[in-house]
Chain A
Amino acid sequence: MTTAFVVALLAGTGSYLVLHRGSVRVIVGFVLLGHAAVVLLVASAGGDRRGVPLLDQVADVPLGDPVPQAFALTAVVIAFAVTLLLLGVLRAQGAAADDDAEDAEVEEQAGADAGRVGGHGDSGEVGRDG
C-alpha cells in the first residue's frame, strides 16, 4: 500500500516538474521519475520479505528477493549517469557563446513580464534554460 503512495508521489511530482520551464526543474523531474521506477522495481519482489539477502546471517524475517534488488541497483547507477549527462548538456549549453542572442530575447520577454506585474526589481528570472 505504501509503495503505491511512494510511487504516486514521485511520479506525479516528476511529471509536474518536467513539464515546467527551467532545465533544473526538468533534470530534477527526471531524477524523481527514475526514483519512482526504481521503487517499483524493488517492490516487484513478491511477498512480505524484508530480510537483507545476506546468506551468512541468521535472519528472523524471510530474506528479500535479490533479483529485483540487483536490477534496482544497476538502475540507480544508470539513472545517475543519465542525470549527469543532462547536467553536462545543460552545462555545455550554458557555456555556449552563441547563447547570448537567445538570452537577450528571453530577458526582454522576462523584463516585459516583470514590467506588467508592477516592476519589482527581479527582472533577472532568466533561468538557465538557454
Chain B
Amino acid sequence: MALVALLAGLGLLAAAAPLLGRLLGRQVGWVLATGFAVAAAGVAVLAPGVLAGTPVEVSRAWLPSLGVEAALRLDGTSLVFVMVALVVGALVLAYCASYLDDEEARGPVPALLVVFAASMCLLVLADDLALLYVGWELTTLCSFVLLSTAGADAAAPARRALLVTVTGGLALLAAVVLLVAATGTSRISTITADPALVLGSPLAPWVAVLLVVAAATKSAQMPLHFWLPGAMVAMTPVSAYLHAATMVKAGIYLLVRVSPVYGGQPAWTAALLVLGLTTAVLGALLALREHDLKGVLAYSTVSQLGLLVAAIGVGTPTALAAALLHTAAHALFKATLFMLVGIVDHETGGRDVRDLAGLRHVMPRTALATAVAALSMAGVPPLLGFVSKEYLFQGFLSVDLAPWVGPVAALTAVAASALTFAYALRIVHGAFGGGEPSHPDLHEPPTAFLAPAALAALVGLVAGPAVSLADPVVAAATADALPGADAPEVYFWHGLSPELGLSALTIALGSLLFWRRDGVDRVLQSWSPPSVGRLFDRGHDGLLHTAGVLGRPDAAGAEAGHLVRVLVAVLALAVPAAVVLGPLPERTAGSQPAEWAVVGLLLVVVLVAACTRSALVLVCALGLIGLLVAGWFLLQGALDVAITLLLVEVLTAVAVVLALRGGDDRLPRAQRRRALPTGALAVGVALVAGAGTWAMTGRGDLSPVGERVLSGAEAATGGTNAVNVVLVDVRGLDTFLETVVVGVVALGLVMLGRGPAGRRRGPAGPEPASEDVVLRVGARVLVPLMLVISVWLLWRGHDQPGGGFIAALVLGSAVALGHLAGGQAPFARTPRWMAPSVLAGAGLCLALGTGLYPLLVGGTLLEPTDVPVLGALGLGYAVLFDVGVYLLVLSLAVAAVHSLDAGAATALPPSRGRPRTGGDEEPAPVRPATTVPEEVS
C-alpha cells in the first residue's frame, strides 16, 4: 500500500505543481523538493524490512484475461534506483528554485520533472512486465516533452531522442510479449526466480537480443548513444536529472533486473562486455575531445554507462555489486557536475572551456564543489567514485569467461577511466584553474543556488570512507539482482590488491594525459569520428522524402485524383473476389412489384442528378433519392431506418440550401474529355456493386444474434422495439461511440462557422421575419407540436418506433424550421442552453454517466441497471442513455442550422453574388436573403 501511496503522492504533486508554480513562482522548487524528500523518507522507512529480505509487495487485478496484474514490488535492487531517483530529484528541484525564473516556473517544467520521477519510480517498482513497459514509455515521453520545452533549437535533438528511445521501447515491448509467450506469466519476480523458465525456451536468445537493444537505446550505448549528447540542449536541471537518475538509468535497471536469468551466460557476458567497454572508451575519448562543459559531461555519461553495462554483463556478484554502487556514485557526481556547470553557464553566459579561466578566484566555493565531484568521477581516493571504481575493476577481473578476458577487460576499463580522469581534471582546470579570471566581475552564486550541488558533492566525499555503512544496501540489492549469490562486503580499504594497482595506473595515465593536454587535444581534434547522429538524420530525411514521393498523388489539389484510384481499386478487387467466390447458396429473398417501381423511379432520378447543371435541381434530386431509399427501407420492414432517413433528408436539404444560399446556382460544366472515362468507371463500379450485392445478400437466414434479440429482448430488457433494444442495450458502447462522433462533428461545425480569428461569421441575430406567410404561420404552429412529438418519440422509443436518434432529428427539423421562418418564430434565435457545445457536453456526460453508473453498483459497463429515483417515475435505464444520444444528435442538427447558414448574399465576395439568370449583362442587384428560403419552403 505504501508503494501505491508513493506513486499516488508523486502524481498529486505533479498535478499540484502548475498551480503552485502560478502561486509561488520559482519558489515552487522548494515545495516540490520537500515533497521528494518526504517520499524518500517514506521509502527509507520501508528499507529495513526490505534489507532484511522481505520485499514490499502490492498487486491488484488489471487485465485479468491476460493474467496481467498491476503489481508493485520494492526489493533491494528497486530500493537503490528509487532512492537515487528521489534523492537526486529533491536536489534538482531545490536547484530549480534558483535556476528557473518565475516565468519558467509557471511553465510545465516543474510538473514534468515530477512526472518524470513518478514514471521512473513506476518503472523500477513494477513487478509486472506490462507495468514496467508502461513506466519505460512514460520516461521516454517525459524526456521528449522536457527536451521540447527548450524551444526551437531543441526540436531536432528531441525528435532524435524520441525516435531512438521509442525504437528501444518497441524492442522492449517485443521482448515482453516473447517473455510472456515463453513463460506464461508476466510477473517479473516469478520469471527471475526460475531462470530455467526462460532459458528452456527457444525464444530465450531473441528475448536477450531485444532486451539488450532496449537497454542500449535507453542507456545510450554505442552506436545508439548519439541522442544523449544532443539532449544537452535541455535546460540544466532537466539534463542533470536525465543524466544522473532517470531515463538513462532505466536501461541499467533493466539489465540488472534480468541478470538472474541471463547473468553468467557466456554470450550475454561477451555481448555486454564488448558493447559496454567499447562505449566506455569511445565515450571517454569523445568527452575529452569536447570543449563545451556540458558536452564533456554528456559524453562522460555515455562512457560511465558503458562501464556499468559491461560490469552487469560480467554477472558475478562482485561485478553487480560494483555496478549498483557505481550507479549511486555516478548519480551523485553527475548531478553535482551538471548543476555546477549550470551555475557557471548561468553566471558567465558561456560554457566553452576555451573562454573560461581562473574562476576559482571569483567563485571559490563553486570551484571547490566542482573539484570534489570531478575527483569522485575521476576515481581519486577517498571519494565514493574511487571506491566504486575499485569494485568495478575487481568485478572485471572476476569475469568467468576465459583466463585472458578478465585482465583485458580490466585494462580496457583502466583506459576508459584514465581518459575520465583527464577530462574530469579538464573540467576543473578549464573553468576554474589558470591565472587571471576570465570574468573578473563575477561573484559567488547565492548559497541556496549552490547548496543542492554542494550537498551532493559532500555526500560523495563522506560516503567514500564511510562506504561500509552502505554495505547492507549493496548486499541486499546484489542478492535480489542475483539470487543465491553472496555479495562481497563493501568497505573502503582493500589493502594492496590488484585493483588498487589498477587505480594507481589509472591516475598515473590520466595525469599523463592531463599533463600533455595540448598534444592530446591536437590529436583528438584532428580525429573526426563518424557521426552516427548525422547518419541517422540522413536516414530520417530520406524516409520522409520517400514518404513524400509516395504520397504525392494524394497531395494533389483536386478531389477526383484521389477518388479515381479508390474506385479503380474497387474494380480491381472485384476480379479476385469473383474468382474466389465459390458456389452460392440458394436465394431466400424474393422481390415485390413495389420494389421494382422504386428501382424504376430511382433510375430516372439518378440520371437527372448525373446530368443536371443546376445546383437546385441536384439538391431536389438528392431529396427524391432519399425519399425513394426510405420507401425501399419501408418495404424491407426497416421502419426505424426509414423514419431516420426521411428526417435526415429533410435536414440535409435545409443544410445544403443554407450553405449554398446567395451563391451561384450553376454547377461547373462537366468536362467533355472527362465524361467518357468517368462514365465508364461509374458504370463499372455500379456493375461491381450490384453483382456483389446480388451474390452476397438475400441468401442466408436470420442471424443468430438477431434471433436471440427477437426471442429474448422483451424478457431481458423490457423493450419491444427490437431495433432500439439493439442500439441501447445490446451494442450500447458502439452507439455511444457513434454519437460521440456526431458530437465531435457538431463541435467541428461550430469551429468551421467561425472565422480564422474565432470570430462568429454566421448571421449574428435572428433572421428578419420571412415574407412567406405560410412559412411564418406554419412555424408558429408546427414548432411547438414537433417539440412535443419529439419528446414523445424519445419516451416511447424503447417500445415503439422512435428513440433518441429519431426524436432528436424531429426537434432538429423544428429548429431548422424556426430558423428559416425567422422573426418571432420559436427557435428563430437559439436559446443559450441550446448552443451545440452545451448540448454535446450534456449529452456526452449523460451517456457516459449512464454507462459508468452500473460499474458503481457492481455491474459492467452499460449494463441495464435500475436507477433509484428515476426508475420509479417510469424512466428506465435505456431511456436515460437514449436521452444522452438525443442531446448529442440534437447538437449536430443545431450546429448545422447555425454554422452552415451562409447568411445574406452580401456576406459573400461580390464575384459570388451573380445573377442567376444567364445572359444578363448588367450585374443584378444583390438579392435579399429572405427570398432564398421561399424557394425551398
Contact = CB atoms under 8 A, between A and B. Distances in A.
B625 to A, nearest CB: 7
Contacts of A21: 560, 667-671
Contacts of A126: 664, 668, 911-912, 914
Contacts of A68: 703, 706
B738 A74 contact: yes
Nearest to A28: B622
A46 B685 contact: no
A78 B703 contact: no
A21 to B, nearest CB: 4
B698 interface: yes
Interface in B24-38: none
Interface string A43-77: 11111111111111000011111111110111011
A43 to B, nearest CB: 4
A2 B734 contact: no
Interface in A18-61: 18-22, 24-28, 31-32, 35-36, 38-40, 42-56, 61
B516 interface: no
Nearest to A52: B639
Contact of B805 (A12, A36, A74): A74
Contact of A12 (B621, B682, B742): B682
A16 B705 contact: no
A117 to B, nearest CB: 10
Contacts of B532: none
Contacts of B801: 52, 54
A120 B689 CA distance: 41
How many residues of A sit at the interface, in one of the four size bands? Answer: 35 or more
Contacts of B689: 7-8, 11-12, 36
Interface-centre pick from A67, A80, A103 (highest chain B CB count, 10 A): A80
A83 to B, nearest CB: 6
B857 to A, nearest CB: 27
A90 to B, nearest CB: 6
Interface in B676-719: 678-679, 681-683, 685-687, 689-691, 693-694, 696-703, 705-706, 709-710, 713-714
Contacts of B753: 88, 91-92
Nearest to B711: A55
B725 interface: yes
A47 B686 contact: no
B22 interface: no
B670 A47 contact: no
A80 B742 CA distance: 9
Nearest to B589: A48
B610 A9 contact: no
Interface stretch (B216-224, B481-489, B536-544, B896-904): B896-904
A38 B697 CA distance: 13
A77 B889 contact: yes
Interface string B354-368: 000000000000000
Q: Which of A31, A54, A77 has the most CB of B within 10 A?
A: A77
A128 B696 CA distance: 39
Contacts of A69: 638, 640-641, 723, 726
A65 B664 contact: no
Contacts of A32: 606, 609, 622, 625
A39 B678 CA distance: 24
A46 B698 CA distance: 5
B888 to A, nearest CB: 10
Contacts of A56: 714, 720, 799
Given A47-B588, A88-B752, A74 B625 contact: no
A50 B636 contact: yes
B761 interface: yes
A10 B598 CA distance: 12
A122 B691 CA distance: 42
Contact of A66 (B629, B636, B722): B722
12 contacts: A2-B595, A2-B599, A7-B690, A15-B567, A53-B722, A67-B705, A72-B633, A74-B727, A77-B805, A80-B651, A87-B655, A87-B659
Interface of A: 1-13, 15-22, 24-28, 31-32, 35-36, 38-40, 42-56, 61-70, 72-74, 76-85, 87-92, 94-95, 97, 99-100, 103-104, 107, 110, 113, 120-122, 124-129
Interface of B: 559-560, 563-564, 567, 587-592, 595-596, 598-599, 602-603, 606, 609-610, 615, 618-619, 621-622, 625-626, 629, 632-633, 635-641, 644-645, 648, 651-652, 655-656, 659-660, 663-664, 666-671, 674, 678-679, 681-683, 685-687, 689-691, 693-694, 696-703, 705-706, 709-710, 713-714, 720-727, 730-731, 734-735, 738, 741-742, 745-746, 748-749, 752-753, 755, 761, 799-801, 805, 889, 892, 895-896, 899-900, 902, 907-909, 911-912, 914-915, 918-921
Given A67-B706, A127-B666, 18 more contacts: A7-B693, A12-B682, A24-B660, A38-B641, A43-B698, A46-B589, A47-B588, A47-B589, A54-B639, A56-B714, A63-B637, A67-B726, A70-B731, A73-B640, A79-B648, A91-B753, A122-B666, A126-B911
Which 4 pairs from chain A and chain B are nearest by CB? Answer: A12-B686, A8-B690, A46-B700, A16-B682
